[in-house]
Chain A
Amino acid sequence: MGVKVSKKRLKQSGNAVKEVLRGSFIGHPVIIRNLPFALYVTVLSLVAIWSAHRAESRVREISKKVVLLNELESEYLEAKSNLMKMGTESSVRQRSQALGLVPSHRAPARISPASDE
């Protein structure tokens, strides 16, 4: 008796396997009916995957840009620092000595006309 039942079950499950292999379940009306939704979900998940990848590449891009930014900033600061040092009166004075120039002994005068507007 038990053997019989198991045989029957075996047959049933064998049918199920066959069915799956044949792929007839794809044509099942429930599936057909929900196909647009399934497609929609697929597209959504594609978008999600794509944006996750994009976010990752953004992160990589940003970290590259940060390195570049730091490099540029450092270059800028070096140039600025050089310029500032060269612009101090001390160094201008030193370099202009070669040209025979010396700082004036008088304060500059600023002429400000009485405003007519």
Chain B
Amino acid sequence: MAGLVLFIALMAFSILGRLYYVSIQLGPELVAAAREKVIQEREIPASRGNIYSADGQLLATSMPVYELRWDAAVVDPERLNSDLAQTAKSLALLLPEKSVAEWSTYLRQQHSSKRRYALIAKNLSYSHYRKVAQTPLFAGSKFKSGLIAEERFTRLMPLGDLAERTIGYQRPDATAGLEASFHETLRGHNGKRWMQNLGGNQWKPMESSYTQDPSNGQDIITTLDSRMQDAAHRALLHTLKKYKADHGCVILMEVKTGKIRAMANLGRTPEDSVYRELRNYAVWEKTEPGSTFKVAALLIGLEDGVVDTADIINTSPGVYTIYGRNVNDSHKGGYGRISLGRALELSSNTGIVKALYAQYAKKPEAFIDRMYQLGLADRSGVQIKGESYPHIPKPGEKDWFGTTLPWMFFGYGVQSTPLQTLTFYNAIANEGEMVAPSLWEATRDRGTIIAQHETEVLHPAIASKDNLHQIQDLLEKVVIRGTAKNIYTDSLSMAGKTGTCQLNYWDPANMGYQASFAGYFPADNPQYSCIVVINRPMRSMGFYANIVAAPVFRDLAMAVYRMTPEITSPADGYWGDGLLQAHSNGERLQKQRTEAALRALENGQLPDLKGWPVSEAIALLESHGYTVKLRGNGRVKKASKQNKTVELDLG
């Protein structure tokens, strides 16, 4: 008895001792540790801003995607046996990376090895994930099916591959395009807040305020126009496929402001030879421009006053030899005696070289200096990382030979990107004012525009108006009766210059062509400038710029022309008055009808809604507290009322 009492007493004392030790000795440490686990200052993630097109379409946004995992250990074998066959069949349809047999084996393997976190699929969209979650094995509560869905945010481009490369991406390992250039604006800043854990990754805010307020990213509105981008993409894709070309790009720019309305880049993927937005050729790819450069060369000659478009040159016999190398015309035998202007229209190499070489052979520096003055040595400064610098050879440097200068006149030896060439052509269209191309229209914060694009002038006047007008006239004639007369149409006036250029001419095994067309439209009042560059069309199918590149220009120009409504006023006189009369009669009737309907509703009656557009009828009825039920579609045919519910028969 006494022993028992003693034992109980000892127990009690040891418990008390332990209690003392734990709460007083270890206490503060444990409390601190618990606090750290349960109470934390947590990051509140900021959401990334969206990218919009100038016409308000969503180009890039953040969207949740799902990664599916499977806790095979919770699934009982009976369920597995009964559902496996059907599930494997459905999965093979939904996730075709595994066949029916493979899915069946895979799931069984995971189950028998009791895997708790087996991968099913990654990066599924919500609807895709729901479909997987409805297969027999994965349906129902996750405690029985074992399906684990983990959510993550990714960037979605709702328009698919339209302008994909221009919009770009911002990933830890790689960045490109506007997403990268405007990362700081788009990303916003994470906030911080003290939060308490409720178990199961649920966190309760401890205070009503943040220790650091989160600020969401701002939206970027680009200058791209989704319809023009679509038209450019379509025209480019069509041509690349038709001529089995390697890659190509199209840029469409607004003449007055330099806003880029479309920028399409498509290249053939090596594996499956379909065309995708792989690289931003428009900004990055620097090549010899070929004949499109002749315009710059001629403009320099005109500015220096050393040549005149009316000068007569003998282009026969179509070959002109300098330092043992031949300048050839694409037309065998040349074009005979023609004016310098006509030589540009016909893109005669010998004509241009003969006229200019006679003037500049002794003073190449004068020509090069003018190139700098025309802004041909500068980058365009567009908001995309990785723009290449143009290359201009200099007399006295080691890549300067006797043939360098004459070959430059028709676009060899110099290098520029498509966007840089377009910037120059745009300046010609813009009466000599060179504006900076821009892809950025505005920045918007919670619906309010906080910064907006202003046209930046790179060069107020690249040449005199007189000389520009001569060049403009010649560019129009290129389309009317020159190398690009095949794209002439009387519904829209266009001006531009073709450029067929040999790539890697020093290496016969790797030789190819680049077809380009740079110009603007409408020729008499330029609104848009555009460049098309097609790289390595299949030679047997055609490689001349007028056949390969110019039609893309025309298709895009026509598409843009069709998008711009002509604004006309109604005819004067009787018919004009009649139209106005009908217009105001219609408006009056509409007003009377609405007033009558409102009066009826005030009196609790159902108004005569026959012939009303559904949306108006619904708005009217709902604003008076009715519930509306619809049957069929079209306009209102019959309306019936029961208490506060109105049924509308449509048809």
Q: Which A residues lie at the B interface, using CB under 8 A?
A: 55-56, 59-60, 63, 67, 70-71, 73-75, 77-78, 80-81, 84-85, 88-90, 103-114, 116
Contacts and interface: CB of A to CB of B under 8 A. Distances in A.
20 contacts: A70-B126, A73-B63, A73-B64, A74-B126, A77-B156, A78-B125, A81-B158, A85-B159, A88-B159, A88-B227, A89-B234, A105-B491, A106-B491, A106-B562, A107-B562, A107-B566, A109-B566, A113-B569, A113-B579, A113-B580
Contacts of B92: none
A90 B230 contact: yes
Contact of A90 (B126, B233, B570): B233
A110 B558 contact: no
B58 A84 contact: yes
Interface string B526-567: 000000000000000000000000000000001101111111
B202 interface: yes
A113 to B, nearest CB: 6
B584 A116 contact: yes
Given A77-B158, A84-B158, A107 B583 contact: no
Given A85-B159, A116-B584, A110 B568 contact: yes
B570 A63 contact: no
Given A67-B151, A89-B231, A109 B559 contact: no
Interface on chain A toward B: helix, strand, loop, or mixed SS?
helix
Contacts of B64: 70-71, 73-74
Interface string B399-435: 0000000000000000000000000000000000000
A106 B563 CA distance: 9
Nearest to A93: B234
Contacts of A88: 159, 162, 226-227, 230
Name the residue in A55, A106, A107 with the highest tally of chain B Cβ atoms < 10 Å from its Cβ. Answer: A107
A63 B201 CA distance: 10
Contacts of A56: 198, 202, 204
3 closest A-B pairs by beta carbon, nearest first, are A74-B126, A81-B158, A110-B565
Interface class of chain B by DSSP: mixed
A13 B167 CA distance: 84
Given A59-B198, A113-B579, A108 B565 contact: yes
A84 B156 CA distance: 13
Nearest to B124: A74
Contacts of A103: 559, 562
Interface in B581-596: 583-584
Given A74-B63, A89-B559, A109-B568, 16 more contacts: A56-B202, A60-B202, A70-B151, A73-B63, A73-B64, A74-B65, A74-B126, A77-B61, A88-B162, A88-B227, A90-B230, A90-B231, A103-B559, A105-B491, A109-B566, A114-B569
Nearest to B231: A89
Interface residues of B, number: 42
A89 B227 contact: yes
B643 interface: no
Contacts of A70: 64, 126, 151
Given A71-B126, A110-B568, A77 B160 contact: no
B203 interface: yes
Contacts of A55: 204
A114 B583 CA distance: 12
Interface string B205-230: 00000000000000000000011001
A107 B565 contact: yes
A60 B65 CA distance: 22
Contacts of A67: 151
Interface of B: 57-58, 61, 63-65, 125-127, 151, 156, 158-160, 162, 198, 202-204, 226-227, 230-231, 233-234, 491, 558-559, 561-570, 579-580, 583-584
B426 to A, nearest CB: 22
Contacts of A114: 569
A113 B583 contact: yes
A68 to B, nearest CB: 11
Contacts of A60: 198, 202
Contacts of B231: 89-90
A90 B234 CA distance: 7
B122 to A, nearest CB: 15
Contacts of B158: 77, 80-81, 84-85
Given A74-B64, A80-B158, A81-B156, A108 B566 contact: yes
B202 A77 contact: no
A113 B231 CA distance: 31
Contacts of B230: 88-90
Nearest to A83: B158
B32 to A, nearest CB: 22
B126 A78 contact: yes
Contacts of B565: 107-110
Nearest to B204: A59
Contacts of A77: 61, 63, 156, 158
Contacts of A71: 64, 126
B151 A63 contact: no
B202 A59 contact: yes
